[in-house]
Structure 1
Amino acid sequence: MLGHKALKIDEIMDILNSSENDCEIVTDVRKSEKVNVIYIPADVDEVSDNEAIDDDVIEDNAPLSVDIAGTMELEYAVAEVELHALPDQQQNAKAPSKKFISLAHYSPAVWRKRPFAYNNQPENVEAKTVEKVVRTLGGKSPLELFEFFFDENMSNMIINFSNEYALQNNACLDLKQFELKRFIGILFLSGYHSLPQWKLYWSLSPGMEVQIVRNALPRSRFEAIKRFIHLSDNTMLNKQDKFAKVRPFIDASNYRFMQFGIWSHDLSIDEQMLPYFGRHSCKMFICGKPIRFGFKAWCLCLSAGYLYQIILYGGAATPHDKTVGLGGDIVLKLLENVTSPLTHRIFLITISLHFILCVF
């Protein structure tokens, strides 16, 4: 409970500055976590502060020894004394309320670096798995490595969806495989050789002409492919999936990311921003990120940065397991692709480690 005491300024200052515990008020004040000094203004007909102070006797840095007009009260906590209630008063007795302690009451956390104690030490078989991958990919050119992921099945899928979309719009695209590869090559080139407009890649101006682009595809053909290229069948879209337009391509890419298996001992699960400045209901803005506008995706990667699996975030309405929450559900879905969890160490940056224990 709270204690109140009407005192003058000098008396209040003596109590607050006192270091002795022989006075009951001083003892209660020193034990209190919070002490309030309350000023109650005087009535209108009483003398004012200025009238009660003689300006001639006040020196610089001299303590104010006179009291101000009005009343001063000292409010402090008083320890509650447990009283034995009488039999007829026990029913009316109320349990003491719990006192809330703010976070400011606790001292800041001190982090200490120490080795993590594993219940089951992961078995490191990275050397054996890496050896298999090196035998498969060793000596391959960059184009051959790219074709491991963008293979003939992937290109045929895009060609079929694009030609079908063109027919739905009363046009004949008749996209060929070599044209699709050249179209993607021009997109890659424009990533580091940027011009104000994409049409300028076919410009005849000496300062803007890009001969390799002009020789690869005519501008009209590039424009037609750019207009009708599609990654899904519009007649079979899942209306509940906000990424239905790219879902077949994402699923096919995830399958190809895992074609060599998981050959890293250390795995990381974290979120990543994919830059996008167009209009879409799933586009996000995250202040303080290097990429502030775009789509957020959860990724399962190895320590060197290779991507194994990706899950795009579709907003708060994304279906997930309510018992573990959205973050935990994403972790469990990504770890479903890890066939031997005991051979890996998994690091989670923003998600609690509690969910990884569910896998074991």
Structure 2
Amino acid sequence: MARRLQKMFRAEEVLDLILENPNPLDSEGEDIAAEAIDEDDLDAQPDSDSELSSDEETLPPPKKRACSGNEPTETAKDGTVWRQEQVGTPLHFTPIEPYAKDGEPSAKASRSIRSRLQSFLCFITLEMLCTIQQWTTQHARQEQQYWFMDLPELMAFISVIILRGVTKVPSLCDSWSANLGNPTIISTMARKRFQDIMQHLRFDDMFTRRERAETDRFAAISDLWESFAANCISSYIPGRHITVDEQLFPTKTRCCFLQYIATKPDKFGIKFWVACDLKSKYICNVFPYLGIKNSASMRCVDCYKYTCGKCTKPMPWQCQMCADSADNAQSEG
């Protein structure tokens, strides 16, 4: 700075200025020094401009700042506006609490279940049993006028079916045999009576089925099945994680929606989509796959979205859903 001042003032002039103002902090001295510095800065302006231009080429552009009231804000490159807030400021929305519950029976089920029988009636109610009794008797009386089955006998029939599923035997006759038979099954119901009920077992009105089947492929059991699925949903509160997958129930019944899956142990059967609680393996929702009428217009991804959405629709929205593969999980969003 001294070198630059020498360009404008000689030594004698500087001494005269100092002698005229003995106090260097005087306002006049400050004005003269400020004028000298300002003129020097103006002379050196071209050099500083070139330096700034070179710096601007190398440094990134400064971030934009937008003032909104008294709160300082900063706008990112993608347009996101960040606002500085003090610690403890209440938010404008309620934060989402994590859904950390484990699966448990609903309040309604907890109040009504005190025994195994009450647990069974929680899913298959007395009203549903009366419906099965009514339509089974209707079908049987087309051949035998005085055929009859009461509710205790129907429940005994269902218990035999459950026991046969637990104790595997090669054939139906073996369940009543002396060597392989189950003593509980033998004492509950005779084999001939069991086969007689199985032959006439029905779940809907046989005289209106043809009309209902035009719009519902599952018309033979759809009403009772929807009631069963609704009871499964209302009787249990699932945990945080729910799995959705297909399950093939083997059957030799001839129907239009029978599926063939080569990777399953039993190749033919009715395919069901099942939503289960991951921890307890409880069936939260289940419905049959009845085929797609316009299969050419629906992609596989759309089919998975529809299926998983239908399975998990009645579930708590905080639950996390898992599919059977990564592709399905991506398609479900």
Provide the TM-score with structure 1 as the length reference: 0.55
Where 2:157 maps in the other structure, the secondary structure is helix
Q: Distance in 2 between matches of 1:225 and 1:132?
A: 34
Closer, same or farther in 2 for the Cα pair 1:242/1:320, shift >3 Å?
A: farther
Q: Distance in 2 between matches of 1:180 and 1:131?
A: 27
Aligned partner of 1:328 among 305, 308, 332: 305
Query: In 1, are the aligned partners of 2:103 and 2:277 still within 8 Å (CA)?
Result: no
How far has the Cα of 1:308 moved from its partner? 1.4
- Structure-to-structure mapping, 1:88-107, within 5 angstroms: none
AA matched with 2:141? L
Q: Distance in 2 between matches of 1:318 and 1:209?
A: 48
How far has the Cα of 1:199 moved from its partner? 3.7
**What's the counterpart of residue 201 of structure 2?**
229
**What's the counterpart of residue 291 of structure 2?**
315
Aligned partner of 1:146 among 114, 120, 123: 120
Query: In 2, are the aligned partners of 1:266 and 1:345 still within 8 Å (CA)?
Result: yes
How far has the Cα of 1:122 moved from its partner? 6.4
Q: Distance in 1 between matches of 2:108 and 2:133?
A: 32
**What's the counterpart of residue 25 of structure 1?**
none
Aligned partner of 2:219 among 244, 257, 268: 244
**What's the counterpart of residue 253 of structure 1?**
228
AA matched with 1:145? S
Query: In 2, are the aligned partners of 1:299 and 1:311 still within 8 Å (CA)?
Result: yes
Q: Distance in 1 between matches of 2:319 and 2:296?
A: 25
Where 2:237 maps in the other structure, the secondary structure is coil
Aligned partner of 1:185 among 151, 159, 184: 159
How far has the Cα of 1:259 moved from its partner? 1.6
**What's the counterpart of residue 66 of structure 1?**
none
What are structure 2's unaligned runs of at least 5 residues? Answer: 1-93
Query: In 2, are the aligned partners of 1:126 and 1:263 still within 8 Å (CA)?
Result: no
Q: Distance in 1 between matches of 2:264 and 2:181?
A: 36
How far has the Cα of 1:180 moved from its partner? 0.8
Provide the TM-score with structure 2 as the length reference: 0.59
| Structure 2 residue 149 is the aligned partner of structure 1 residue 175 | yes
**What's the counterpart of residue 260 of structure 2?**
285
How far has the Cα of 1:171 moved from its partner? 3.7
**What's the counterpart of residue 186 of structure 2?**
214
Query: In 1, are the aligned partners of 2:245 and 2:323 still within 8 Å (CA)?
Result: yes
Q: Distance in 1 between matches of 2:314 and 2:294?
A: 20
Q: Distance in 2 between matches of 1:267 and 1:218?
A: 42
Query: In 2, are the aligned partners of 1:274 and 1:294 still within 8 Å (CA)?
Result: yes
Higher helix share goes to which structure?
2
Q: Distance in 2 between matches of 1:188 and 1:131?
A: 22
CA RMSD between the two structures: 3.5
Query: In 1, are the aligned partners of 2:102 and 2:240 still within 8 Å (CA)?
Result: no
Where 1:127 maps in the other structure, the secondary structure is coil
Closer, same or farther in 2 for the Cα pair 1:128/1:264, shift >3 Å?
A: closer
Following TM superposition, where does structure 1 have runs of at least 4 consecutive aligned residues deviating by more than 6 angstroms? 318-321
Q: Distance in 2 between matches of 1:225 and 1:332?
A: 38
1:228-283 deviations in Å (ceiling 9; x for gaps)? 11112222222233322121221111011012353311122222222224433322
Aligned partner of 2:248 among 256, 269, 273: 273
What are structure 1's unaligned runs of at least 5 residues? Answer: 1-119
Q: Distance in 1 between matches of 2:328 and 2:181?
A: 53
1:172-219 deviations in Å (ceiling 9; x for gaps)? 33211110111111112222434454345445xx42554433332233
Q: Distance in 1 between matches of 2:276 and 2:296?
A: 22
Count of equivalent residues: 234
AA matched with 2:259? M
